[in-house]
Amino acid sequence: MTYHVLYNPHAGNGNGFAQAKKLSAVLTHDTLDFIDVTTIKSYASFIENVPSQDGIILAGGDGTLNRFINDCNANNALPKVISREIQYYPAGSGNDFLRDLGIAAPEKPIVINKYLENLPTVEVKGKKHLFLNGIGYGIDGYCCEEGDKLRGKSEKPVNYTAIAIKGLLFHYKPTSATVTVDGKKHTYKHVWLAPTMNGCFYGGGMIPTPSQDRLAQPRTLSVMVFRSASKLKALMVFPSIFKGEHIRKKKVVEILSGKDITVEFDRPSPLQIDGETITGVSSYHASTAK
């Protein structure tokens, strides 16, 4: 069988192609056609021209998946694209999508069609985006912004945990926030994080909403509000997010679930969608598919 491997060379801190090439040792009886996604002008048009008997493998990280779904959605072509089998092979640095599926390091590509159906949307600065894992808003968005700056200066892997700790201690200032879930408004002070999640994981292993199920029916989203007037207390609780144990700290953490979520900060802050950074954001509106 012939597989068209659409790989992102920038994934995995620039090791995307090397990771994708590992498929040669897995699909030994197949023909692999490696295609750099940066040369593809339209995923939908490209896939439409792939022979029906051929396979399609997307190789990259969470950002690669995000760009894939949004590129297809821009032409309302995503339902048609996923009417044929789409496989995924991890080549990213975070791979939170796979963590959410309970898969550590798959030997073979996995079929992901059911996870690309009826995805939620987030509206930021007047533009709608689909998202797969979650929306980071607050110090998590700040970490992505700082990580992007470091990546532009060096090829060394970015330590987001170190950025977060320095941000908590010195650089990032908490905000006041208004969170509206299905029409009910909640107000908070000293907010460090306010992510809305479709899955459980983001940020390379953080578990802000441990009970969130991306395939649950009816579909809902979960927003986690992490607030504390004390930097020291925030710093003490923050590491527990990587085990999902932060939810025990009721005075610091609150999780709300619903179909329609709006988060507003009292000053602009960086935001990330599946790891893709947007700066200077005052609010976002997330909702499940209608």
Q: What is the CATH number of the domain that holds 256?
A: 2.60.200.40
> What is the structure's pLDDT at 93?
80
Q: What is the CATH number of the domain that holds 101?
A: 3.40.50.10330
My answer on whether 277 and 133 are in the same domain is yes
Give yes or no for a contact between 203 and 276, defined as CB atoms under 8 angstroms apart. Answer: no
My answer on whether 102 and 138 are in the same domain is no
My answer on whether 113 and 43 are in the same domain is yes
My answer on whether 135 and 87 are in the same domain is no
Q: What is the pLDDT of residues 47-68, one digit of tens each?
A: 999 999 999 999 999 999 999 9
Q: Which residues pair with 9 in a beta bridge?
A: none
My answer on whether 113 and 180 are in the same domain is no
My answer on whether 110 and 144 are in the same domain is no
Residue 231's Cβ-count burial label (10 Å; 0-12, 13-18, 19+) is middle
My answer on whether 130 and 214 are in the same domain is yes
Render each residue's pLDDT in the chain as its tens digit; 290 residues: 999 999 999 998 888 999 999 999 999 999 999 999 999 999 999 999 999 999 999 999 999 999 999 999 988 899 999 999 999 999 888 889 999 999 877 889 999 999 999 999 999 999 999 999 999 999 888 887 887 787 677 767 667 778 787 878 778 899 999 999 999 999 999 999 999 999 999 988 899 999 999 999 999 999 999 999 999 999 999 999 999 999 999 999 999 999 999 999 999 999 999 988 999 999 999 999 87
Q: Which of 90, 117, 144 is the last residue of a domain?
A: 117
> What is the structure's pLDDT at 90?
92
> What is the structure's pLDDT at 105?
76
My answer on whether 279 and 189 are in the same domain is yes
Residue 143 φ then ψ, to 5°: -60, -40
Look up residue 202 and give its DSSP letter: B
User: Is the dihedral angle over the CA atoms 98, 102, 108, 114 positive or is it negative?
Assistant: negative
CB atoms within 10 A of CB 13: 14
My answer on whether 54 and 148 are in the same domain is no
Residue 50: what residue type?
A: V
The residue range of the domain holding 145 is 122-287
Give yes or no for a contact between 194 and 138, defined as CB atoms under 8 angstroms apart. Answer: yes
> What is the structure's pLDDT at 146?
81
Residue 195: what residue type?
A: P
Q: Which of 69, 97, 117 is the last residue of a domain?
A: 117
Q: What is the pLDDT of residues 253-274, one digit of tens each?
A: 999 999 999 999 999 999 999 9
My answer on whether 97 and 161 are in the same domain is no
My answer on whether 54 and 173 are in the same domain is no
Look up residue 206 and give its DSSP letter: B
> What is the structure's pLDDT at 205?
87
> What is the structure's pLDDT at 155?
66
My answer on whether 259 and 184 are in the same domain is yes
Q: Which of 51, 83, 117 is the last residue of a domain?
A: 117
Number of domains within the chain = 2
> What is the structure's pLDDT at 64?
94
Look at residues 141, 167, 145 and name the one whose alpha carbon lies nearest to residue 231: 167
